Structures are given as C-alpha cells and as structure tokens.
Structure 1
Amino acid sequence: MPGLFASRRGALVYLALWLTLGLMLGGVIALADAAPLPNALLFAVPLNLMYAFVAGFSAYYLCRAYPLGRAPLPLLCVLAVAAAVAGLLWLGLAQLWNALCLLPAMSWAGIVIGPQLAALVAALGMLLYGLATAIHYLVIEFVRAQTAEQGALAARLAAQEAELRMLRTQIDPHFLFNSLNSISALSTQDPPAARSMTLELASFFRHSLGMDAQRKVALERELALVRHFLAIERQRFGARLAVREDIAPDAACCLVPPMIVQPLVENAVKHGIGQLPEGGVIMLTARRAGSLLRIRVENDVDASLPAARGNGVGLANVRQRLAGLYGHEASIHWSRRDDRFGVELSMPAETSGD
C-alpha cells in the first residue's frame, strides 16, 4: 500500500494494529457467548486482516482524491458515505466468511451472527474505516510537509551557493585591479619587472581557475596560491617584502574555502608593507586546536597612521563567506598593537576524510 506500506516498518506496524483489533474483536465475541474463544478468533482475526487491506487501499485513494484542503462539508459527506458503505461491505464479508466456516468440512468453526453482533460488526467497520482514513491523512500530510521542508532547504542551499559564488567572484576583480595598478606603476619605472609581473599574474589566474569549481580546498593548496601572489608582489617591493611561515602539518591538510587567505595577505601588503618605506614582515601561522583550525596573518604597519576600521572589501568578503559556509562555527577577528596588525580566522577543522 502506498504511504503506510512504503517501508517495511510501516507495514508491520499497520498489520500489528489490525491484528490486535482482530484479537480484541474475537475476545468481545467470546465474552458475549456468541461462540467459544477459538471459533471467535478464527472468525475475527482473518476477517480483520482482510479488511486491513481492503479498507487501507480504499482509504488511501479516497484521501488522495479528496485532500484536506477542500471544503469541509462535502469532504465529511464523502467520508461518511464511504465509511457506511465499507461497514456494510464488511458485514457482508463477515457473513460470507462465517458461511464458509459453517460448511460441513469446518462446521465446528462457525459462530452465530445475531442482530446485535451484526450491528457491532457494521458499526466497527465504519469506525475502523474512519481510523484508516485518519491515519492516511496524517501520513500524506506528514510526507507533504517533509517534501516542502526539503524543497525549502534545497532553495536555501541554492541561494547560499549563489551568494558564496558572488562573494567568491568579488575577489578576482579586486585583486586584478590592484595588480594592474602595480603593473602600471612598474611599466615606467622598471619595464622588465612589469613584464615579469604580468607573466606571474597570468600564472596566478591559471592556478586559481582550478579552484573555482571546488567548495573547499586543502590549506596547503591555498597557501601555494598565496605564495604565488607574494611572488607577484615581490616584483614591485623586492627586499622590502619579507614573509615568514609557521604552518603545522596537521593544519596544512585541513580544508578551507578557496581564496580565503589571499585577501588577508593582499591587505597586509597593500595597507601594511606598502605604507612602510623600509618594508616589513608578513607572518603566516596555522594551527589546529582540537576541532578548530586557526589561521593568522600578521604584518608590520606604520604606527603613525590611524588604525584601519576593517571595512574594506577583503575583510568584509572573508567575514561573509565564513558566515555563509559555517554560520556561528567560524569567526574572524583583527587587532592592532603598536606597529603590528593581525587578522585571525577560526573555522571547523575538516579534512578530505571527514
């Protein structure tokens, strides 16, 4: 039966319920002195199991044909007529089954169906049909609500994916704009360096294209892209740009959103090292602390300049992407102490095997 019999567990529960009702009916017939208990059970149990299938299928298709959203009065009339017809049919089925039990080969198995027992069987048939109808309505509405919830969840996930793709695509134009400005500045001061930087930029974007289709990449791969970016910036800053790394092996294999560290390093170069005539150091640190991955980007800054408010494209983009992917499980914090500025990312530590 569709709905209730869609799973083995549902079918077993349904049949167990009707078997219990059959045993109860047999007990009532025996207590009323209509027949001995074995005869009453042989009459009631098979009759209930047969009615379970007949009423079950009929009630299911009736519920599908007349959903709950319709006008209540016509729906109640249809259900009442269907229950009355089912009760009378069950009474006829009971008399037929009893007649078969009274045949000469099984004359010991029959019972006496008097007016009171006939009325009880008909009324019980109507009630059981109503019960089957109510159960099917509950199952249909539950499945409908579950399907609607899954559809809403799929829509939210699709919207989230679209938002993440939009945020991801903000990075490339932002980085390209800054890089082209650097190439423009070098083209008059150092044309060979500008040409080399152009080639490095092309290599950078070829490398990043392979990460576009992936939701998450290993931190080691993300850092490889960062190193490529720093190689581009060294064409402009030379020895003024120094980089130190402290990456734990268990952190390097953790998964992160692609291009999540590069904007932070780009900010460190643009707003930190780029403002210092003597240059400075960018420190990259990654540690795994239990179930969390912590990544920190720290750089020298000009202590005489006012502290940045952290409202740039890079930090805002990273914050929104972390919130979209991890919700409250991830965070980004930045702080400035004298001549050092640091940004720390915290997110769930996931690996490809999780």
Structure 2
Amino acid sequence: MKHPILSGSGYKLYALIWLIVMAVHGSVLYFYYDFTITISIADSLVYNLIFGSIAPGFWFIVTFGGLNKDELSLLGTHIGAAGLTIILWLSISGYLLRMLFLNNAEYLNFISSVTIWRVIIGALFYSISILIFYLIKYYQDMQKRMNLELELQNLLKDSELRMLKSQINPHFIFNSLNSISALTESMPKKAREMVIKLSDFLRYSLGKDNSELNPLDQEINNATLYLEIEKVRFGDKLRFEKEVSEECAQVKVPNLILQPLFENAIKFGVYDSLEPVTIRLICESSDDMVYLRITNNFDTSSIPSKGEGIGLENVKRRMSLVYGRHDLVEIEKGRGEFTATLKIPLNLNEDE
C-alpha cells in the first residue's frame, strides 16, 4: 500500500499544511507573547519541523499496527506510540532551542512553563495525523476493493463472452459436418466446395478476439460465407439480399453477432418452407444509433420447429455484455415474416 506522503505528490500538500501551522505558531509567539521575530521563527521551525518529520512514520502504525490485534490492544499501541513521540519531540526540540538561546532566561523559563501545553498540542497533532491516515487508508482500501471487483466483473464478462462464442461454433460446425457427410457420396463437388467455405469461415471466426468490435462489412462478408455454405445444401431455396450504405459498413459491431441470426432465419424459415426464402439485411442509421434488421419470410402453414435454440438468447446476452444495455435486440414475428433488429449505439463506436 503506497505511502500517502512519501510516494507520489502527497508531500506537496503535507508541506503546505505544516507551513500554515508554522505561520500560526510563530504569529502567536510574536504577537501574543511579545517574543522577538528570531525567537518566534526559531521556536516555530524547530518544534514543527521535528514533529512534521516524525509524523509520516504514523502511517506504518496505521497500516501494520492493527494486524491481528483487538480494539484494546490497538488503543494501547496508539497510546504508547503517542507517548513515545511526544517525549522524543519535546526532548529534541527543547534541547536544540536551549542550545540556541542559552543566555535568554525569559525564553528558557517560557519553554519550561508551557511543557504541559506542548504535551496537549503533541497529542492533538498525533490524533489528527492518525485520523487522517486512517481516512486515507480506508479510501485506498475501498479503491482497491472496487478495482478488484471491477477486475473480477471484467473476468466474468470475458468468460461469459467466451462461453457464448464457444456455443456458436460447435453448433454450426456440427450442422455443417453433417451436411458435408450427406453430400460426400451424392454430390462430392458440392461437399468439397462446402469444406473450403467452412475453412474460410472458421479461419475468420477463430482468429477474432471474444470482445472485439469489427466493421460491419467484415462481419457481413463472414456471414455471407456462412450463407454460401448453407446455400450448398438448400440451393435456390435460399436467397440473400442486403442494403448497407458505406456509412453503415464502417460501424463496428461485436464479432460473429450476425451469424446466429442468419442461422436462426435458416432454421425457422428455410428448413420448413417449400417455397424460396429470402433473408434480407438492412442497415439504417440515426444520430445516435444504427439499426441492423435481418428479416426472412417463412411458411405460415408449416409446423414450427421446437425451441429457439441458443441463437437469439446468445445474441441478446452478448449485446448486453458488450454495451451494458438490455434493450438493443428486438424480435418481431408477423404473418409470414420474422424480423430481428440489432441497435448499435454510435457513441461507443466513436470511442473505439
């Protein structure tokens, strides 16, 4: 734990405080007790410089004095430390001043007569110093706890992002390998084409950091690879259209955030439909938000597949973790059309 005075720039404030104390001390001696300016300055400098030199050591009493001790033992520690400090302070200061003004009987008598007040002032200085150090220590401990808590939250967030991402690739790989296996004998050329596209897709996916934000055009290119892989299986039954302006193309989005939405559109649109299904990606921007809409038509007469899988919930959770908001994913299911909307805050993209 850093010393508040000996490390950093804390010594500047500490020196300023003691300069003020010295000025007040010297003024009292000069104006109230009518001592000469020399005696007033000397008395103030010696007493305050010595105590000011001793006081930084109180930090170690505050930091280590309470380890494995109850309140009574801690109180005894402070009483003992205060007593020893005052004795050393008055002994050293008094000796130096007596040597300086050996022939000034009036001042020597003054030193002896105000000893009790010096003891009280010393106890007050010690108490104030200890109180300030305890407050600083409490603040440092609180900051340390907050930093540790933030670090833990970031680790948990990163772990959850890794877990969510890890759920995507195995799920997709499993489906793709099944499709490749089915195509190997019947359509070996398409199987080979699918393997190449799958390799390109995985090279992009596995090379990205979990919390990284990528330009939308990169994510679209990668998602297009996914759709081309699926198109090997579904042929003309699967169609893809996009409307993305150049401005939208450079907006940064979480990596692999589109692929689960396309996978969901295929699973609940293309699988059960006898007619061609068109997946559309539309990007629109406003002053503070970019809207990504992925729509697909579906056969209303078909029996829907059971469950929604991990795709949509995965996207919702990742958006929440990355942007710290829970209102960035909207799902709409109308008659014959399904729409998933992602809202990307522009202010965060500007900070990246």
TM-score, normalised by the number of residues in structure 1: 0.88
Provide the secondary structure at the position in 1 that maps to 2:6: helix
Q: How does 1:2-17 map to 2 (within 5 A)?
A: 2-8=3-9, 10-17=10-17
1:327 to 296, 313, 324: 324
Q: Tell me, yes or no, if structure 1 residue 164 matches structure 2 residue 161.
A: yes
Distance 2:115 2:29 in 1: 11
Aligned to 1:288: 285
Show CA shifts across 1:295-328 (max 9, x none): 1111111122477897421001111111222221
Q: Is the 8 A contact 2:183 2:190 kept in 1?
A: yes
Determine the C-alpha separation between the residues in 1 that align with 2:56 and 2:229: 72
| Aligned residue number for residue 29 of structure 1 | 29
Letter in 1 for 2:76: C
Which of 333, 340, 350 is the equivalent residue of 1:336? 333
Match for residue 267 of structure 1 among 254, 264, 280: 264
- CA distances 1:121-177 after superposition (whole Å, capped 9, x unpaired): 222112212222222222223222222221121112111111110110000111112
Q: Does 1:70 align with 2:69?
A: yes
1:204 aligns with 2:201: yes
The corresponding residue for 2:122 is 125
CA change 1:18–1:109 in 2 (3 A) is farther
Aligned to 2:312: 315
1:236 CA displacement: 1.8
- Root-mean-square deviation (CA), in Å? 2.8
Q: Which amino acid aligns with 2:340?
A: V
What is the number of residues matched between the two proteins?
Answer: 350
Aligned AA for 1:6? Answer: S
Q: Which amino acid aligns with 1:45?
A: L
In structure 1, what residue type is equivalent to 2:179? Answer: S
Is 1:300 matched with 2:286?
Answer: no
For the residues of structure 2 that align with 1:231 and 1:307, how far apart are their CA atoms? 24
Q: CA deviation at 1:212?
A: 4.5
2:78 counterpart of 1:79:
yes
Q: Which amino acid aligns with 2:11?
A: A
Query: Percent identical across equivalent pairs?
Result: 28
Task: Say whether residues 1:250 and 2:247 are aligned partners.
Answer: yes
Gaps spanning 5+ residues in structure 1: where? none
Does structure 2 retain, via aligned residues, the 8 Å contact 1:167–1:317?
yes
Instruction: Report if the CA contact (8 A) 1:218-1:254 is conserved.
Output: yes
- Residues 332, 339 of structure 2: 8 Å contact kept: yes
Seen in structure 2, the aligned counterparts of structure 1 residues 182 and 66 have a Cα distance that, compared at 3 Å, is: same
Deviation string 1:200-245 (CA, Å, 9 cap, x unpaired) is 2223212322225662222221111111111112212222222111
**Structure 1 residues 71, 272: closer, same or farther in 2, change over 3 A?**
same
CA distance 1:212–1:120, change in 2 (3 Å) = closer
Q: Does the alignment pair 1:153 with 2:150?
A: yes
- SS class of match (1:328): coil
| Counterpart amino acid of residue 283 in structure 1 | R
Distance in 2, Cα, partners of 1:69 & 1:293: 57
Per the alignment, in what secondary structure is the counterpart of residue 275 of structure 1? coil
Once residues 129 and 326 of structure 1 are traced to their aligned partners in structure 2, the CA distance between those partners, rounded to angstroms, is 49
Alpha-carbon distance in structure 2 between the residues aligned to 1:109 and 1:324 = 76
Unpaired segments ≥5 residues, structure 2: none
Structure 1 runs (4+) greater than 6 angstroms displaced: 107-111, 306-310
Q: Which residue of 2 aligns with 1:92?
A: 91
Cα shift at 1:26: 2.5
1:40–1:308 CA distance, 2 compared to 1 (3 A):
farther
Normalising by structure 2, report the TM-score: 0.89
- Amino acid corresponding to residue 8 of structure 2 in structure 1: S
Check whether the contact 1:90–1:122 (CA below 8 A) recurs between aligned residues. no
